[in-house]
Amino acid sequence: QVQLKESGPGVVKPSQTLSLTCSVSGSSITTSYYYWSWIRQSTEKGLQWIGYINYSGGTGYNLSLKSRSSISRDTSKNEFSLQLTSVTADDTAVYYCARGTVKGRRRKGDFSWGGEGFLSDLCF
């Protein structure tokens, strides 16, 4: 059974970069057909898919966040990471990493979820 665990800073200041890492166990991030996604949930916007990195290293992003988002991976550690630049109060959310099997599926039930998510607060 796949297990995913998010980690990163709990507080990020406006205009800074939010960096999160997802550690994966029970499944290799290079296994064919899997898409490893970042998703966030906030009271204001609900569930929002950010982007994915797939088994071969290809990436895809939500168009509304594409200019500020970058997803990368470290296959030696079986981890993948998110960088979200120029954060604002609108980026305050719980961030989740997830494994999906079909590109573009963005509803909660379509993913294998990890952990409890990671709440990122902005410090003003």
95 vs 39: CA distance, rounded Å = 6
8 vs 46: CA distance, rounded Å = 21
pTM as predicted: 0.83
The answer to whether the beta carbons of residues 36 and 103 sit under 8 Å apart is no
Instruction: List pLDDT tens digits, range 33-82.
Output: 888 999 998 888 888 889 999 999 999 999 999 999 999 999 999 999 99
Mean per-residue pLDDT, 9-28: 92
Q: Which CATH number fits domain 3-119: 3.40.190.290, 3.40.50.970, 2.40.50.140, 2.60.40.10?
A: 2.60.40.10
